[in-house]
Amino acid sequence: MTVAELLDALWCDYLALTPQASRIQRLLAERGELLRNDSVALRTCSAPAIGMDVLARPFEALGWRARERYRTRGRHLRARYWQHEDPALPKLFVTELVVDELPPEAQAVIARLIGDVPPGFTARADLPWAGRPWTVSRAEYAALAAESEHAAWLAASRFFSHHFTLH
């Protein structure tokens, strides 16, 4: 996979879930705005099978290098960004839920979800947009939502670009 193919696949997947982004991009282009993708954001959790370092592998294989780490107080989140040597390419931001900071009940739900990840799933080159490898019940979602919006979002959603930042 090339850099262009990776970024295009992420963008196309994002548009499939948020079609209004295509309209907004078109309207800005029609106004003469020169748009540049500054960053791509992904979400995951701190489980070794699907942690931020795993999610970043396809980017690292194409030249992105890990940079600064961040910590969000009170929300059980940490983040890191990766940057390519080509400054025209977007940064990658990955936000990761710190599972071991959650109550045992929420940790158990997340462990059950991760247990559903099929063998080889995390080695996929398309992991950042590979979909949801688990099923989540309404009760599990509610239990996670009571503890963390990030946990509930990840459980109910899937691997895909959380957002793109244009400037």
Q: Which helix (H) or strand (E) holds 97?
A: strand 91-97
Q: Which among 130, 154, 135 is positioned nearest to 46, based on CA atoms?
A: 154
Q: What is the DSSP letter of 118?
A: P
Question: Is the pLDDT assigned to residue 47 strictly greater than 90?
Answer: no
Q: Which among 53, 52, 60, 58 is positioned nearest to 9, based on CA atoms?
A: 58
How does residue 132 score in pLDDT terms, banded at 50, 70 and 90? Answer: confident
Burial class (CB in 10 A: 0-12, 13-18, 19+), 66: middle
- State residue 32 phi and psi, 5-degree precision: 90, 10
Question: Is the pLDDT assigned to residue 160 strictly greater than 60?
Answer: no
Task: Provide the whole-model pTM.
Answer: 0.82
